[in-house]
Amino acid sequence: MKHFAYRSMAQLRLLGLILTAMVAGTACSEAEKSASKPAVPVTISGSMNGEEGPIKEAKLTATDSHGKVIATTEVSGRSRYQLELPAGAAYPVIISAIYPRSTKIEKSGQGEIKAVVMEASNSTVELSPRSTTIVNMALARGGLTLENFRAASASALNLGAGSGGGSGGGHGGH
C-alpha cells in the first residue's frame, strides 16, 4: 500500500510540474502574441533623408507583415513625419516614403526610402538610404526576422551604405 501511495504522490508531482509548464508556456505565448499585435495604436515618427539631403515632400505608407497597407500619410514642407499604426497590426511593419526627386542626370522621377519597425512600440524611425539598404538586405536573406534584421544592420554598417540613417534604439526599426 505504501508503494502505491508513494507512486501516486510521484505521479501527482509530475502532473503538477507538467501543468505548471503548460500554464507558463501559454502565458509566454500570450505575451508574445500581445507584443506582436498591440491592443492600442502605436505612433511612429522620424525624419526622412534621401541621397541629396532632407526630403520635404513624400507619401508614406505602412505595410504590415501580411502585405496589407495599414496607414498612410503625406508630408509637405517638412522632413519629419508621424504615422499612427492601428491596434492589432501584424509586425514587422515596413514604413516606405515615395518622394519626387531631381538630379543632374535625371530631371524627374521618384525615389523611395524605407525602414522596418520590428515590434510594437512608440518609436522614432529614421528613413534613409541606409535604412533602405538594411530592409532590402534582410528581405534578401529570407525575410524580416530579427536575426536577418540584425545581420543586415551589421552588414550595412560595415559597408558604410548610404548616408545618415539609423533608428530609435532597441529593435525599433531601420
pLDDT at 61: 98
Q: For 28-69, write each residue's pLDDT tens digit.
A: 333 344 345 778 999 999 999 998 899 999 999 999 999 999
Residues 66-114 have pLDDT tens digits of 999 999 999 999 999 999 999 999 999 999 999 997 655 455 578 999 9
Residues 117, 70 share a domain: yes
Cα distance between residue 39 and residue 169, in whole Å:
22
- DSSP annotation string for 65-93: TTS-EEEEEEEES-SEEEEEEPTTPPSSE
Q: What is the pTM for the complete model shown? A: 0.68
Q: Are 113 and 53 in the same domain?
A: yes
Residue 126 DSSP one-character state: -
Instruction: Please say if the pLDDT value at position 170 is more than 90.
Output: no
Report pLDDT digits (tens) over 147-162: 999 999 999 888 764 4
> Which secondary structure element, helix H or strand E, spans residue 53, and what is its range?
strand 53-54
Residue span of the structural domain in which 7 resides: 1-36
Q: Say if 169 falls within a structural domain.
A: no
- Domain match, 94 and 153 both: yes
CATH code assigned at 116 = 2.60.40.1120
At 14 the pLDDT is: 47
Higher per-residue confidence, 33 vs 11? 11
Q: Are both 126 and 71 inside the same structural domain?
A: yes
Least confident of 9-13, 79-83, 126-130: 9-13
Is residue 19 situated within a structural domain? Answer: yes
